[in-house]
Amino acid sequence: MKTRKILALAGDGIGPEVLAATRRVMDWFQAAGRIKFDVSEGLIGGASYDVHKTPLTDDTVTQAKAADAVLFACIGGPKWDTLPYDVRPEKGLLRLRKEMGLFANLRPAIVMDALASASSLKLDLVKGLDIMIVRELIGGIYFGEPRGVEQLPDGTRRGYNTQAYSTAEILRIAHVAFDLARKRGKRVCSVDKANVMESGLVWREEITKLRDAQYPDVELSHMYVDNCSMQLVRNPKQFDVIVTDNLFGDILSDLASMLTGSLGMLPSASLGAADSSGRQPALYEPVHGSAPDIAGKGIANPLAMILSFAMMLRYSFNLGADADLLEKAVQSVLSSGIRTGDIAEAGQTPVGTVAMTDAVVKELTRLAA
Ligand code: IPM
Ligand code: MG
């Protein structure tokens, strides 16, 4: 059996707790003889800044590029909020995405039956919801030049950023969305702001051309981002795959995550282009942030990160059956009423991170027997 090299980056806040939980699940798969891992840990974000005065060292970048997959938790916190942009925790993550070429960010928003009533929307609107948001991750206004802050002659300042997308950047993310749609409901909704922005117009036209030329079997619709945010709350089940740019994807995926009942439940995968040997750079991370308010209290929900590991099994190692097993274990734990505080409902006593992980590991053993 091939040994898979994993770089694990705990980052900040609740990161170390949810990573420790996920490593226990990984250990279970290894002990069960299903996969072999060689896991090393590295620093990113504020944790890296505190030691190295940078949120990401070249050494960690090298390790990430050499790994078969990177497992990353979350970064940031009030402690580092006043640092200059180029050494902020967020910069470490943005640089890692860019250096690894992770242009495609897959953010599923799935409502598990057991959690449907934890959503802030009415049950019938979200029950059975299964959307995939495909977010462009290394272009657009996050990285566009010129950017900066300039001093104006009158002593005031002007901050500016650039939104730009080229044909090549649009086509490679559109391919990911169309290919995914073919394995699902065969519908793609492309989201932009083409009524105001030239970059949005190019986005819309290039995606339409690609669909007509190569994906006639996939239904394509277009939506302005403001309308899309409204539609996600009004009738989320109308969507199958949503493809959108970096900034809109950031915003819409937080919105979509809340439809599912908790940000603490949502995994994501960030993928690059496969090289000639088929090796594809990949990073898996929960959508939630570092939750500094509950860090170190042992109450964080580890499920988003555990489910991110399931995505790793599926997308990086082609271990669909193992991913299914893990997702099923999580679902039955939830069905049995075991909940962390963020997803507990009236009458349910919340458990901590360790107890939730115990339950998942126990359920894995039971299901695999
Ligand atoms: C996300 C986060 C990041 C982003 C931050 C931490 C830089 O919000 O992954 O959605 O904006 O991409
Ligand atoms: Mg975000």
pLDDT for the residue 321: 96
pLDDT digits (tens, 9 = 90+) for 199-216: 999 999 999 999 999 999
pLDDT for the residue 81: 95
pLDDT for the residue 15: 98
Which residues is 290 bridged to in the sheet?
A: none
State the DSSP code for 27: H
Contact 245, 140 (CB under 8 A): yes
pLDDT for the residue 117: 84
Low-confidence ranges of the chain (pLDDT < 50): none
pLDDT for the residue 209: 98
Instruction: State the distance from the centre of ligand 1 to the C-alpha of 250, rounded, in angstroms.
Output: 6
Q: Give dist(CA 258, CA 119) in Å, integer.
A: 7
What is the SS3 assignment for 175?
A: helix
Among 16, 68, 21, residue whose Cα is nearest residue 353: 21
Q: Which residues contact 108 (CB under 8 A, 6 or more apart)?
A: 130, 131, 132, 133, 266, 267, 268
Q: Which ligand 1 atom is at minimum distance from the Cα of 253?
A: 10
What DSSP string runs through 263-314? GGG-EEEEE----TTS---EEEEESS---GGGTTTT----HHHHHHHHHHHH
Q: Give dist(CA 200, CA 102) in Å, integer.
A: 21
CA geometry: angle at 56 spanning 89 and 315, to 5°?
Answer: 90
| 143 touches ligand 1 (CB under 6 Å) | no
What DSSP string runs through 334-365? HHTT---GGG--TTPPP--HHHHHHHHHHHHH
pLDDT for the residue 254: 87
Q: Take atom 4 of ligand 1 and give the residue whose Cα is closest.
A: 250
Q: Which ligand 1 atom is at minimum distance from the Cα of 250?
A: 10
Q: What is the pTM of this model?
A: 0.94
pLDDT for the residue 144: 97
Instruction: State the distance from the centre of ligand 1 to the C-alpha of 75, rounded, in angstroms.
Output: 9
| 90 touches ligand 1 (CB under 6 Å) | yes
pLDDT for the residue 261: 77
Q: What φ, ψ does residue 135 adopt, rounded to 5°? A: -105, 130
What is the SS3 assignment for 35?
A: coil
pLDDT for the residue 277: 87
Among 244, 242, 188, residue whose Cα is nearest residue 217: 188
For the record, the structure tokens of 143 come out as 């990285």
Give the residue carrying structure tokens 């919340």.
Answer: 350
Q: Which of 94, 105, 136, 143 to mutate to test the pocket of ligand 1 (most atoms within 8 A of CB)?
A: 94
Instruction: State the distance from the centre of ligand 2 to the C-alpha of 108, rounded, in angstroms.
Output: 14
Q: Which ligand 1 atom is at minimum distance from the Cα of 285?
A: 9
Amino acid at 254: D
Instruction: State the distance from the centre of ligand 2 to the C-alpha of 151, rounded, in angstroms.
Output: 29
Among 251, 258, 360, 283, residue whose Cα is nearest residue 67: 283
pLDDT for the residue 32: 96
pLDDT for the residue 39: 97
